[in-house]
A and B are shown apart, each in its own frame.
Chain A
Amino acid sequence: MTNPPGASGRLAKRAVLRARLGRAQELVIEAVIRLCGVSAVVFVFAIFFFVLREALPLLFGGLDLGQFFGSMEWYPDSLSNRRYGALALILGTLAVTGLAMVFAIPLGLGAAIPISEFSRGRTKEALKIVVELLAAIPSVVWGFIGLMILNPVIIDLFDAPIGLTVLNGAILLALMSVPIMVSIGEDALKAVPDTYREAAEAMGATRWQVVRRVLLPAARNGLLAAVLLGVGRAVGETMAVLMATGHAVTIPTGPLDSVRTITATIAAELGETARGSDHYRVLFVLGTLLFAITFVVNLTADLVIRGFRRR
């Protein structure tokens, strides 16, 4: 049997067409992916721009920055004497985040080590899934736990006047930022080449010595990045701290004081302020400040991770 004269020509033509189509498809996909990548940058800048735009008229038009950073008197709606002192809000955010990290770092990195190094197969998978489940609990549920369960527990346990405190918020935030620390911490440990472990074991090191002397130093940057991303998560959290910290404008002197965070203030007050009023604008100034804090934390994390890749 011989092919009819036109058949091979047709086949060749079809192949050429398919190749061209493939190339076109490739170009389209490439463009779409590039657009996705660029869009993230555009979104971040757009968000920053819009937040700043609402804040600027007050920032350069009458906001007393000395009072803003130096006074705890937050009276945005006083009838006689308006004051915008955000010191207590800033310190409140730092106190809750700081104490949360005291709990979360040992817990998170402590969980990353056994999951990465001491468990295999099913146990490992099960542990990872359970830890990631923690991340799936909505923050309003955490807040509810703080308000309803932790509040009376803290009152009884510490003989405190009130259980809606820095401690309460910090416990919730710690549990909320542990999953991200475990995931990234585990990745960092996994990235240490097996040859390191083998070499250490060949020298007669116990497993604990391998972890402490070899793995932790080798994965240092990755673990630090895990911690910083956890910090970013904690600083930005709103609903849980709004419900659990008492939402009281005070400068915290200990873990049993009620505080108010920047995020909670914005969430509680923005909804009903008159658009364009000073109160409205000062909340956007707080937003800008919050953006700056998380930006610095994330940038540091990024630079640290980059350092860890280069090595």
Chain B
Amino acid sequence: MTRRILALVVAALGIACACGRRDEAARPMIQNKGSDTMVNLAQAWAEEYREVDPDVAIAVTGGGSGTGIASIINGTVDVANASREIKPEEKEAARKSTGKDVVEHVVAFDALAIYVHAANPIPSISRGQLACVYAETGGCTKWTDLGVEVPGCSKQKIVRVGRQNNSGTYAYFREWVLGTRQDFKLGSLDMQGSKDVVDVVERTPCAIGYSGMGYRTPGVRVACVAGEEGDPCVEPTAETAATGKYPISRGLYMYTLGEPTGAVARFLAWVRSDAGQASVARLGYAPLPPERRTAPERRTGAP
């Protein structure tokens, strides 16, 4: 009896091994690495793409845009994710080390909306005003400092809502508002998720917060943002984010070595299709505008 069970186990293991090996050989594996801002999005794409093309496996790792680009320079990944454009010297390094040009694919946009309570009457907010509110050295602590009076807000105190300091949103907003030399003022409410920021702002008349534009709810107001004092302000929409008119927006990129072929080309085409862009909106990023979806849009890496 025991021997028979043992034999069965051995046989099962043998079959499992064989299957595993055959699968691995048959399934192309796409290595995808880079931006932490994009890691949720890339993971969602990888999961959904399994249904589209079950024969392709996609392995997603984070680590940051720099890590992703370093890997493409070394030729160790198929697709690198980055929430910034690749630098000319990085392109040069990639050409030297692999002999191929890096090709850029815009896959989505990341736009941060400035959320305030529904009762907040502020007409628009500029980068300078945001710096005054959020910077360590900024002096704006009351809504009256920004020229408005918020009904229902006790003592007109500005309650700053933000993200915990390892979030990509935190880093991007800090870079846009404060540059690299300054830090945020302490004492902001550091939320764990993009949605939490909007939830808190919705329930707090005094609050101001930043979060992905996809997290907008009917209960909050989205402020119109001006790049510099005096500039006309722009409302965040999929269109203004994609054209770069909206100031707090940036492209999210995927980079490949040379024009992609085979499984990678099919995957990137799907990412840029309506089906792939649906997850972009769901995860709080700004999708590509419809007219830029179908047309293959690539810039080759010639500097």
Contact = CB atoms under 8 A, between A and B. Distances in A.
Bound pair (A, B): yes
Interface of A: 72-81, 88, 147-148, 151-152, 155, 159-164, 242-243, 246-250, 258, 260, 268-269, 271-273
Contact of A151 (B153, B183, B187, B204): B204
Nearest to B159: A162
A269 B183 contact: no
Contacts of B166: 77, 268-269, 271-273
| Dominant SS among interface residues on chain B | loop
24 contacts: A74-B186, A77-B166, A78-B183, A80-B180, A88-B186, A147-B200, A148-B199, A155-B154, A160-B154, A161-B153, A161-B159, A162-B159, A162-B189, A162-B204, A163-B203, A164-B189, A164-B200, A243-B192, A246-B189, A247-B190, A247-B191, A248-B187, A248-B189, A268-B190
Contacts of A260: 190
Interface string B171-207: 0000000001111001111111000100110011111
B110 interface: no
A258 B204 contact: no
Given A268-B192, A272-B36, A161 B157 contact: yes
Given A164-B200, A247-B191, A159 B154 contact: yes
B165 interface: yes
Interface of B: 36, 153-155, 157, 159, 164-166, 180-183, 186-192, 196, 199-200, 203-207
A162 B180 CA distance: 30
Given A75-B183, A77-B166, A268-B164, A248 B188 contact: yes
Nearest to A158: B154
Contacts of B200: 147, 151, 164
B62 to A, nearest CB: 8
A81 B191 CA distance: 23
Contacts, number: 80
A147 B204 CA distance: 11
Given A75-B183, A247-B191, A249-B187, 13 more contacts: A72-B186, A80-B183, A147-B199, A148-B199, A161-B154, A161-B204, A162-B189, A162-B207, A242-B192, A250-B186, A269-B166, A272-B36, A272-B166
B61 to A, nearest CB: 13
A189 B155 CA distance: 49
A260 B189 CA distance: 9
Which of B180, B190, B192, B205 has the most chain A CB within a 10 Å cutoff?
B190
Contacts of B165: 76-77, 269
Contacts of B189: 162, 164, 246-248, 258
Nearest to B199: A147
Contacts of A163: 203-204
Contacts of A147: 196, 199-200
A189 B19 CA distance: 65
Contacts of A273: 166
Task: Report, nearest first, the 10 A-B pairs whose CB atoms are least far apart.
Answer: A272-B166, A161-B206, A161-B157, A250-B187, A249-B186, A268-B164, A246-B189, A79-B180, A247-B190, A162-B159
Nearest to B153: A161
A137 B207 CA distance: 30
A272 B166 CA distance: 6
A151 B186 contact: no
A75 B157 CA distance: 23
B151 to A, nearest CB: 13
Contacts of A79: 180-181, 183
Contacts of A159: 154
Contacts of A162: 159, 189, 204, 206-207
B70 to A, nearest CB: 14
A262 to B, nearest CB: 14
Contacts of B154: 155, 159-161
Contacts of A247: 164, 189-192
B39 to A, nearest CB: 10
A72 B186 CA distance: 9
Contacts of A75: 183
A161 B205 CA distance: 7
A249 B191 CA distance: 12
A96 B292 CA distance: 52
Contacts of A88: 186
A300 B204 CA distance: 41
A247 B203 CA distance: 16
Given A242-B192, A248-B187, A260-B190, A269 B164 contact: yes
Of listed A78, A159, A163, A260, residue having the most chain B CB within 10 A? A78
B203 A151 contact: yes
A81 B181 CA distance: 8
A155 B157 CA distance: 13
Contacts of A269: 164-166
Contacts of B196: 147
A163 B165 CA distance: 22
Nearest to A246: B189
B175 to A, nearest CB: 8
